[in-house]
Amino acid sequence: MPFLRRVLIFVLQMTSRLLLAVIRFWSIFSWNPPCPEPPHDPLLLTPASILAEKIRRREVKSSVVVQSFISRIREVNPALNAVVCDRFDDALQEAHAVDDLVSSGTEDEATLKKKYPLLGVPLTVKEAFALQGMPQSSGLLSRRSLRSETDAAVVLQLKKAGAIPLGVTNCSELCMWYESSNKVYGRTRNPYNPQHIVGGSSGGEGCILSSGGSVIGVGSDIGGSIRMPAFFNGIYGHKPTSGIVPNEGQYPNAHGCRTELLCTGPMCRYAVDLPIVLKVMAGKNVEKLSLDQEVSLRSLKFYYMENDGGCMFVSSMDKELVQAQKQVVTHLETEFGVSVQPISIYNLRYSFQIWSAVMSSDGSKEQSFTDLMSNGNRWWPSFELLKWLLGLSQHTLPAIGLALTENLANLNTQGNAKMVKKAKNLKEEINSLLGNDGILLYPSHPKIAPKHHEPLAVPFNFAYTGIFNVLGLPVTQCPLGLSKSGLPLGIQIISSQYNDHLTLALAQHLEKALGGWKPPGST
């Protein structure tokens, strides 16, 4: 068995390297637009919480703020393809209504803050969420004509809090791949280097936030779909404790065991905005968290892992990411006089297998990815692959591949059962380790933002984020500056269930200490 395992690892590595070489060679001949210039308008460089405060105090009009962000989207979107449908006219009307409310003086500043914590602040929304009047195809051609008649639960909450949606952003087909590209809207490009991916499935959201076209956004995450785009685009993304933020109103929604994996959460350019947006998103469930509790970082326990321990399906860690993590460790030890303990959690090396098993363990065929792809019609993944090879398919290759993989995974019921058991043991182990005062530092991804199509050669690298969906733990993706090539670095901050306030507090501290988001085009 050890010999066969070594042979399998060798074959996987050689296949991956060959495919990567082909993709990189082909990318030489592809054209990509230049990087956008960094935003210069001060309003575009202001956190949402401060924008709302300035609007309430009549220091700036919401209509002026909204127009600034609209202008920025028009400037960068032709090159990036992040916003796939806008509602600029409606947004400006809503902004003028906010200005009228504030100028009327019928409610004082304190009342406005309590009722509308995001009053007049621009918002963008992942296209997979229902936003009244906007498309909700989730990248599926058969849904391209659909227009939402209502708002998703979380969108409605944000609108009630005073936020003004500017439009919807691109995602991967049916939100199940970590490059945001589909047959409806095409591919979204990274603002730091358009030859590289933005991640998925909330890639358009991460891209427009990073490029200064929005300040807060709505994302969803079933295997890292908030955190990977946040990482690749150098912004903040928070996957809340499972069950805190309602998922209703997005497509596809989760059913059965997958309900525990799917999380809706905030994506922000500034860490200081995460708790405010999360409070609004969570609604009544915010009572389960302690977001207003003051956190003493020097009284916490800190742990870190440099990699997953060595999974044959996942790439090795990039050296710059390891170094960035070490800088965080050094900073915490120097700043707070704590000991950040290196640990090794053995079962994390099975992260991909565990995630795959849990995703396949719902036996309900009605909720399979294949059925979602078919949209009610007969559909065979193997035949669709043949059509793709002939250039006749209406689907992307990753989506077809996932449908094929899902069918194979469902055959391995015994192996899946073992991995589901590992998931339970792993959840108990990490919760016990962290308790109510522990934080784990863990890589966001093994590689800095890959070039377009490269995920096809390393499809399982999402395991670094996906495992925490299985465990139901809160995770904040935190940017850590830029690599030598000018692409974002980052790290995941993890705590035990319902201790979201710990990860958010550390993210805010690191933002002040290490600089947080770096505008594309800057040095």
Who contacts 407 (Cβ-Cβ below 8 Å, separation ≥6)? 370, 381
63, 68, 126, 181: the active-site residue: 126
Greater model confidence, 68 or 4: 68
Output the pLDDT for position 33.
83
In the chain, pLDDT over 70 holds for what percent of residues?
Answer: 96
Query: How many whole angstroms separate alpha carbon 207 and alpha carbon 128?
Result: 16
Query: How many whole angstroms separate alpha carbon 141 and alpha carbon 6?
Result: 42
Closest by CA to 449, choosing from 349, 350, 520, is 520
- Number of neighbours of residue 6 by Cβ within 10 angstroms: 11
Least confident of 213-222, 281-290, 347-356, 396-405: 396-405
Is 210 part of the annotated catalytic residue set? no
Query: How many whole angstroms separate alpha carbon 82 and alpha carbon 168?
Result: 9
For residue 319, which amino acid is it? K
Query: How many whole angstroms separate alpha carbon 448 and alpha carbon 462?
Result: 12
Is 296 part of the annotated catalytic residue set? no
Average pLDDT, stretch 127-149? 97
Q: pLDDT digits over 148-180, tens only?
A: 999 999 999 999 999 999 999 999 999 999 999
What is the sign of the dihedral through the CA atoms of 67, 71, 74 and 77?
Answer: negative
For residue 38, which amino acid is it? P
63, 225, 242, 444: the active-site residue: 225
The helix (H) or strand (E) run that includes residue 122 is strand 122-126
**HEC per residue, 30-80:** CCCCCCCCCCCCHHHHCCHHHHHHHHHCCCCCHHHHHHHHHHHHHHHHHHH
Output the pLDDT for position 257.
59
Cα end-to-end distance, the chain, whole Å: 50
Is 225 part of the annotated catalytic residue set? yes
Query: Contact 274/516 with Cβ under 8 angstroms?
Result: no
Tokens standing for residue 133: 């009047």
Output the pLDDT for position 23.
83
Output the pLDDT for position 148.
98
Q: pLDDT digits over 397-449, tens only?
A: 999 998 888 777 666 788 889 999 999 999 999 999 999 999 999 999 999 99
Query: How many whole angstroms separate alpha carbon 307 and alpha carbon 446?
Result: 8
Query: Contact 62/91 with Cβ under 8 angstroms?
Result: no
62, 201, 356, 495: the active-site residue: 201
Output the pLDDT for position 426.
97
- Above 60 in pLDDT, residue 365? no
Least confident of 12-26, 457-471, 479-493, 498-512: 12-26
Confidence band for 200, pLDDT divided at 50, 70 and 90? very high
Output the pLDDT for position 27.
78
Q: pLDDT digits over 42-72, tens only?
A: 999 999 999 999 999 999 999 999 999 999 9
- CATH 3.90.1300.10 domain extents, the chain: 30-290+298-363+410-514
Output the pLDDT for position 230.
98
The architecture that CATH gives domain 30-290+298-363+410-514 is: Alpha-Beta Complex (3.90)
Confidence band for 17, pLDDT divided at 50, 70 and 90? confident
- Number of neighbours of residue 165 by Cβ within 10 angstroms: 26
Q: pLDDT digits over 268-316, tens only?
A: 999 999 999 999 999 999 999 999 999 999 999 999 999 999 998 999 9
Output the pLDDT for position 1.
53
Tokens standing for residue 232: 């690749």
Confidence band for 372, pLDDT divided at 50, 70 and 90? confident
